[in-house]
Every structure is written in structure tokens, then in C-alpha cells.
Chains A and B, each alone.
Chain A
Amino acid sequence: MAKARFSYTPENIFTCVGRKTLTFLEDVGGLALLVKDIFLSLPKAFSRFHLTAEQMLVMGVNSLPLVALVSVFTGAVTAVQAVYQIQDFIPMRYLGTAVGKAILIELAPVLTALVVAGRVGAGIAAELGTMKVTEQIDALKTMALDPVEYLVAPRFVAGLVMLPVLTIFSDAIALAGGVGISATALNVPPHVFLNSLKTFFKTMDLMSGLSKAFVFGSIISIIGCYQGFRTKGGAEGVGRSATKAVVMASVLILIADYVVASILFG
């Protein structure tokens, strides 16, 4: 079927805006229903713990190398740029505080989540999307198994648990990166860096980052599953779903970051 070329008549523009609005509302409604179903089926994620454990492995353990790589550079660049920003008016012995807080509160949780959204969110959408277009989801239903219980709940729980774990891991590696670069290139020895980190450390710094990770983890798995279930039309559709999952999850992660921060610090 040949598609007519889009021309910018007022009707077309209204149709276009209207259609986008409808899609948006459809997504909101669809996600709300999915979240409801997930909570109803949570008990099953524990009774079928092997499925959840498998997802934890895929999401958590297999993401470690990538998260480590991103974190070490994040820690290092934060230290280098903090020095550039504060050197004229703040003594270097406070470098550890500045770098540490930035990492714990913001950088480790958000960057870990974005990396995992790209790696795992896309993976979930592609896997469930393939199952959808090859009728495996229908097959599951005909065997009287609920796809939300069987596929979504384990991924949801795994995301919820593994994102905070990955974030703690990222915290540690990023701080190590910061300490390393400070000692080798910025003339701030490790004990000075760590002392200032300790002196001004508040439990809230760590906890706020972990609360964010909790939220980000659920966003990644819910969006991945949602886009997977909505997949239509073969391999092309699977690719589209994976892309949409990453974009949607990343946007929601940044919005949720702001929301959680305003609740915790506002």
C-alpha cells in the first residue's frame, strides 16, 4: 500500500496531534493495567523462585562488567571536573565530599539505570516481543499459564532487587575511580579524599541513591515487558519495541530521578 505524502494542512496536523495524544493515553492506561496485574501476581514470583533467580542473574550479574566500566570513568571524570570547578574557592581536602555526594546521590544510580535500561530493558522487550510474534505468549496462555505471572513478575522482582545491588557496586567502583585519579593526577592523597568523604557523609546520601535505584529498577522491567507484549509484526516490530523500551525507560528514569529527589530533598 503506498502511503500518501504527509502535507501540512491544518486537518493533518490535528489528526497527527490527536493520534499522538491517543497513543500516549493508551500507554498510560496499558501501563497502569500491567502494574496492577504485576502486583496481583507477585506471590508467584516467589513460589517460582527459579525464574526470578534466572532473571537476577541476567540483569544483575551479567551487567556487572559494563556497570564497572562506566562507573570507574564516572568517578574519575567527576573528580577531575570537581577540581576544575572548585579549586579557586574550596580547599582540595574537601574534594572527597564533593565527588562522593555527587556519585552516591545522583551519578551512580542514574548512570547505572541508564546503562541497564540500554542493556536489559532492550533485552526484555526483544525477548518478550519475539515470544509475542512467534505466538509463544499465546501458547503459554493456552497451557493455562499467565504470562504476567510467568514472565513479568520474575523480571519485575529481579529489577527491583538487582538495581540497588548494582548501584552499590557502582558507588564503590566510582569512588575507587575518584580516589585513584585524585591520588595519581590531582595531588589529593587517598586518606585525605576518604577522610573528607567520611566527615560529611550522611546515611541519607546512600539511601537516597538506593531509593532511586529501586524505582529505576521497576521502571526498566515494567517498560521492557510492556513494550514486549505490545510487539506487532515480525522481526521489524521486535526491533522497534526494543528501541521504544530503551527510549521510554530512559525518559522515565530521568523524570523519576527528579520526582524522587524532590520528595526526598524538597
Chain B
Amino acid sequence: MNSWSPNSLGKQSMIEINGVQKSFRDNHVLRGVDLTINKGETTVILGRSGCGKSVLLKLIMGLMKPDQGEILVNGDNVASMNDKQLSGLRQKFGMLFQASALFDSMTVDENVGLGLREHTKLPEPEVRQRVAEKLKMVGLSAVEHQKPAALSGGMKKRVGLARAIAMDPEYVLYDEPTTGLDPIMADVINELIISLRNTLTITSIAVTHDIVSAYKIADRIAMLYEGKIIFVGTPDEVKNTDHAVVRQFIEGSSQGPIPAL
């Protein structure tokens, strides 16, 4: 495959989303999304429930194909990759799912170590050590032999996070990392995302409707509304914007241009 493209010149490790559209029957979820994700930054995509945030992440991972437009990772179009290229791409990504999506037939250790055991030839003691290390990063210990069903929601999220970073990915996608957690646990997760960016220089995309979390973790915030990115800016630019839709969203008001129902 030709890996050269104008986008890969000079700016490595980045994701470009160009004019992406996705519909399910007559439900037009994404109607032309344009967004560039810079290397080493955390980009937060804000949007209401059901506006297509999870769909966008699935499109980036190649779990779905866009109807229109393209998603370039390091200049390569995800939708036109074959199975082998897709597998190579996915090994550079980690993904935290909205509901954690831990494999419930496996223990915590097996969940976190699955990628290492399947894709590397590391000896078993080494795998165990790395698993313990990643679990420690997310503030967990001595849970290796538990099944996910025995864990609380916050612990599941943290195990999911440990699994997402187990293979030392270049990119991590977070699907609502703080939703459903108590405020203190939410802040623990926020701190984790920040420290991952700082210590491992991971490029991240987090989708959320949690403004507090967005302000805290984001280098840049993009707002997804009615199938398009209507605003991109730093947290400060978001706080001070007079864009009516963005203002209504960050103020959490039912009055304004966004219909409440």
C-alpha cells in the first residue's frame, strides 16, 4: 500500500476525519464530520447522548465503515484497509468502551493480558508483571483473579483502561470515560488520562457529555451537533465562546437553540 499522502508529511501520528457521513436506515447520524486530531494531544468530542459519538469512535477503529468521506490514520484510509492492515492499525490503538466491555468469561488478568498473550511472544512471567504494572497505574491491585462480574462499575472502567493501554498504544480512544461514576472516581479517571498523556505521550480522543471532565483533560474540545463538528477550540476558548449552541451545552440549559427533547 502507498503510505505516502500529503497528510503524512511532517505531521506524523495523527488522525484526519474528512467529510464523514454515516446513516442507519433513515437515521442520519453523522452528516459530514471534519476534524483533525493532533499528535500527543487529548481531543475531547462533546455532544449529547445519541448524537453519534460512539459511532464516530467505531468508524475510527474500522468497526463500521462510513457511507461517505474518509478517516486517515497516519495518512492511511481506515475504510479501505484489508484485514491484515486493519489488524496492524488496531494494535496501535487502545479503546475504552462506554460500558467497559470486559470479557466476562475471563479473569481481570486474562482481560488485561489478552493482547500481550496473543500478539507478543513475551514469556508468561513478563506478561504477568506487565499486567500488574498496568493495573497499578489505574490504582488496582490484587484483583487479577477476579471475574469482571465481581467488580464495581468504577473498577470495571479502570480494568478497561488498563486493558486499553496494556499494549502501550500510540492512540487511546475513550468512550465516555467518566459517565456513571461518582465524582471522585470520575476525577481519578481524569487524572489517569492526563498522566497517560504526559508520561506515555499518547494521542487521545475522548468522547463525553461531561463538561467538567472535558475542561480538565482536553487540549482541544470539539462539539458534535446535528451530525457535524460545529466548534473546535481550547477549553478556554470554549468557556468564553458566544456560540449559542456551545453556550447552551456547557451551561446545561434546557432553553436555547438545542431542542431539549
Residue ranges of A at the interface with B (Cβ–Cβ < 8 Å) = 127, 130-131, 134-136, 138-146
Q: Is the CB of B95 within 8 A of A139?
A: yes
B95, A142: Cβ atoms under 8 Å? yes
Indicate if the CB atoms of B58 and A138 lie closer than 8 Å. yes
For chain B, give the interface size range. Answer: 20 to 34
**Do residues B61 and A142 form an inter-chain contact, with CB atoms below 8 A?**
yes
A residues near B63, Cβ cutoff 8 Å: 138, 141-142
Name 4 extra pairs, CB < 8 A, besides A135-B101, A138-B58.
Answer: A131-B103, A136-B101, A144-B87, A144-B115
Closest to B164 in A: A142
Find chain B residues with CB under 8 A from A127 CB. 105
Is there an interface contact between A145 and B58, defined as CB atoms closer than 8 Å? no
B215 in contact (CB, < 8 A): no
List 11 A-B pairs, Cβ < 8 Å. Answer: A136-B101, A136-B104, A138-B61, A139-B102, A141-B90, A142-B61, A142-B63, A144-B91, A144-B115, A145-B114, A146-B83
B200 at interface (Cβ–Cβ under 8 A)?
no
**CB atoms of A138 and B101 under 8 A apart:** yes
Q: Which A residue sits closest to B58, measured CB to CB?
A: A138
Asked if B97 is at the interface of the complex by the 8 Å CB criterion, the answer is: yes
Residues on A with beta carbons closer than 8 Å to the beta carbon of B105: 127
Determine the distance from Cα of A144 to Cα of B99 in the docked complex, in whole angstroms.
19
Question: Any chain A CB within 8 A of the CB of B118?
Answer: yes
Interface secondary structure of B, over-half rule: mixed
Q: Nearest CB to that of A127 among chain B residues?
A: B105
Question: CA A142 – CA B101 in complex, angstroms?
Answer: 11
Q: Which residues of A contact B99 (CB under 8 A)?
A: 134-135
Q: Which positions in B face A, CB cutoff 8 Å?
A: 58, 61, 63, 83, 86-88, 90-91, 93-95, 97-99, 101-105, 114-115, 118-119, 163, 167
Bound-complex Cα distance A200 to B149 (A): 56
In the complex, residue of chain A having the shortest beta-carbon distance to the beta carbon of B160 = A139
Q: Establish whether residues A135 and B97, one from each chain, have CB atoms under 8 Å apart when the complex forms.
A: yes
Which of A134, A138, A139 neighbours the largest number of chain B CB atoms within 10 Å of its CB? A139
Residues of A close to B167: CB separation below 8 A: 143
Contacts of B83 in A (CB 8 A): 146
Closest chain B residue, CB of each to CB of A135: B101
Please give me the 9 A-B residue pairs with the lowest Cβ-Cβ distance, nearest first. A139-B101, A135-B101, A144-B90, A144-B87, A142-B95, A144-B91, A143-B115, A135-B97, A136-B101
Instruction: Evaluate contact between A145 and B118: CB separation under 8 angstroms.
Output: yes
**How far, in Å, is A106 (CB) from chain B's closest CB?**
36
Contact in complex: B119, A136 (CB < 8 Å): no
Most B CB within 10 A of own CB, among A131, A134, A136? A136
Q: Which residue of A lies closest to B175 (CB)?
A: A135
CB–CB B90/A139 < 8 A = no
Chain B residues with CB under 8 Å of A140's CB are 103
A134: chain B residues at CB < 8 Å are 99, 101, 104
Given the complex of chains A and B, what is the CA–CA distance between A236 and B192 in angstroms? 36
Contact call A136/B118, Cβ cutoff below 8 A: no
Alpha-carbon gap, A135 to B63, bound state (A): 11
- Inter-chain contacts of B115 with A (CB < 8 A): 143-144
B134 to chain A, nearest CB (A): 14
- Shortest Cβ distance from A147 into chain B, in angstroms? 11
